[in-house]
């Protein structure tokens, strides 16, 4: 059986692509952290990352999403030797679809009707792609695949986001707030309402960054 390293040696763009992915992840994560510092008016506990689009630094949020997309597309190139198997092909396709969703998230902010579809395209594809690609990598001798638990973190975080959203809207409804017809976000939480959906949302980003970083490092270690 041809190893990942043997296949990667015939495709010299793998290591540069992995380096691009790491750089893009660092920029995306750094921009996201910076948004928390310069936009403290958005409480991270209950405000979603996409809501930074309504602040003074919306361009920085665009950078978060666009570099996130670049990291996914670069990883598709870096992990291309996995396309020799059906499982690898499926994982690479899912990761490419995730990149499309992330790109759409940067092009269409939270006030655009395509922002929601972008999330529904990108996030599930990323969650599935991380697991499928990690399994595909683990089946190739000669490569140190990311720990499988890191591949499960994105979908676990996504489930937490959905659960937190449901609890949040239920608490708002119990407090007499009807969100269905609101055109503007809440300025503050009603008394007695606690929100954790923001933390779950940020955990999803961090889980994605962690898995993508380890996947890129696996390629670099193989070609070192």
pLDDT band at 147 (very low <50, low <70, confident <90, very high): very high
Q: How far is CA 181 from CA 39, 40, 42, 184, 185, in A?
A: 26, 27, 22, 9, 11
Give Cβ neighbours of residue 118 (< 8 Å, ≥ 6 apart).
101, 102, 104, 105, 108
For residue 1, give the nearest of 88, 102, 109 by alpha carbon: 88
Question: Tens of pLDDT along 101-142?
Answer: 999 999 999 999 999 999 999 999 999 999 999 999 998 877
Confidence of residue 1 (pLDDT cuts 50, 70, 90): very low
Report the distance separating Cα 181 and Cα 100, nearest Å: 30
Task: Say how far apart CA 188 and CA 206 lie, in whole Å.
Answer: 25
CB 133 within 8 A of CB 145: no
- Of the ranges 70-74, 122-126, 193-197, which one carries the lowest mean pLDDT score? 193-197
Query: What's the pLDDT at 41?
Result: 92
pTM over 0.85: yes
**CA-CA distances (angstroms) from residue 1 to 4, 32, 76, 142, 146?**
10, 42, 22, 11, 21
Tell me the C-alpha distance between 88 and 130, whole Å. Answer: 11
* Percent of the chain whose pLDDT exceeds 90: 73
Q: What is the dihedral of CA 53, 162, 166, 185, to 10 degrees?
A: 0
CA 79 from chain centre, in angstroms, equals 17
- Residue in 124, 116, 123, 129 with CA at minimum distance from that of residue 102: 123
Per-residue confidence (pLDDT) for residue 175, from 0 to 100: 78
> How sure is the predictor about 2, in pLDDT bands with cuts at 50, 70 and 90?
low
Q: What is the pLDDT of residue 9?
A: 54
For residue 180, pLDDT beyond 70? no
Cβ–Cβ under 8 Å, residues 144 and 138: no
DSSP 136: H
pLDDT for 4 beyond 70: no
pLDDT in tens, 5-23: 566 555 678 899 999 999 9
């Amino acid at each position: 059986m041809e190893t990942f390293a043997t296949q990667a040696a015939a495709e010299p763009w793998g290591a540069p692509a992995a380096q691009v992915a790491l750089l893009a992840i660092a920029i995306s994560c750094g921009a996201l952290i910076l948004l928390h510092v310069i936009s403290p008016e958005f409480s991270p506990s209950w405000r979603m990352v996409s809501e930074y689009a309504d602040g003074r630094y919306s361009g920085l949020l665009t950078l978060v999403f666009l570099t996130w997309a670049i990291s996914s597309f670069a990883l598709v190139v870096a992990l291309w030797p996995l396309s020799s198997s059906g499982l690898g092909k499926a994982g690479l396709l899912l990761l490419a679809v995730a990149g499309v969703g992330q790109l759409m998230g940067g092009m269409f902010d939270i006030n655009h009707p395509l922002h929601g579809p972008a999330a529904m395209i990108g996030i599930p594809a990323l969650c599935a792609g991380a697991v499928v690609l990690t399994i595909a990598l683990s089946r190739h001798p000669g490569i140190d695949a990311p720990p499988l638990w890191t591949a499960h973190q994105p979908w676990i975080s996504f489930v937490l986001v959905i659960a937190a959203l449901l609890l949040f809207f239920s608490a708002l409804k119990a407090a007499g707030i009807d969100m269905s017809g609101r055109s503007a976000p809440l300025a503050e939480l009603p008394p007695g309402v606690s929100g954790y959906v923001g933390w779950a949302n940020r955990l999803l980003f961090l889980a994605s960054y962690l898995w993508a970083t380890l996947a890129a490092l696996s390629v670099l270690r193989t070609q070192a």
